[in-house]
Amino acid sequence: MAAVPEPDEPAKRKPFKLLGILDVENIPCARDSILYGSLGSVVAGFGHFLLTSRIRRSCDVGVGGFILVTLGCWFHCRYNYAKQKIQQRITRQGMKNKLLYEGTHLDPERKQNNGNSSN
C-alpha cells in the first residue's frame, strides 16, 4: 500500500524490533520502559553482586529487576498516556464546539458566563 518513494526521498528503513517483535520506535512508552528496565536491571544485579559476590544469583536478580521495572514503568506510562489522550479529546471537542457555536445560544462560553453571573 505504500507509495513508491521518489528518487531524492530517503528510503524508509524498517523499524527496529526487540527480539523481532517489540517495535520500540513506534509503540508509545515502549522505549522508555525498556530503558528504565535496563537501568533497573543493572542497578539491581550489580548491587546484589556487590553485597553478596554471587554471580549467577546476581544475574537472576538482574533479570527479575528488568522484568519488574519494565512492567512498572510500562503501566505507569500507559496510564498517563491514556489520561493525556482523553484530555486531548476533550480539548479537541471543546475547540470544535467553540468554533461551531460561537455567537449562538449554544456557545459554551456564554453558558459558562451565565452560570458565573447567576452565582
Partner 1 sequence: QNAASPIMEELIAFHDHALMIIFLISSLVLYIISLMLTTKLTHTSTMNAQEIEMIWTILPAMILIMIALPSLRILYMTDEFNKPYLTLKAIGHQWYWSYEYSDYEDLAFDSYIMPTYFLEPGEFRLLEVDNRTTLPMEADIRVLISSQDVLHSWAVPSLGVKTDAIPGRLNQAMVASMRPGLY
| Residue 22 main-chain phi, psi, to 5 deg | -95, 110
* Residue 27 vs 110, nearer CB to partner 1: 27
Give me the least distance between CB of 98 and partner 1, in Å please: 17
Tell me which residues touch partner 1 (CB under 8 A).
Answer: 1, 3, 18-19, 21-22, 27-30, 33, 56, 60, 63, 66-67, 70-71, 74, 78, 82, 85
CA distance 113 to 32: 43
* Residue 49 vs 110, nearer CB to partner 1: 49
Query: Cell match 519494565: residue?
Result: 70
* Residue 47 vs 72, nearer CB to partner 1: 72
Give me the least distance between CB of 100 and partner 1, in Å please: 12
* Helix 55-101 and helix 108-118, axial crossing angle in degrees, nearest 10: 90
Give me the least distance between CB of 45 and partner 1, in Å please: 12
Distance of alpha carbon 20 from its chain centroid, rounded? 20
CA distance 73 to 76: 5
* Residue 75 vs 111, nearer CB to partner 1: 75
- Report CA Rg, the chain: 25
Give me the least distance between CB of 23 and partner 1, in Å please: 8
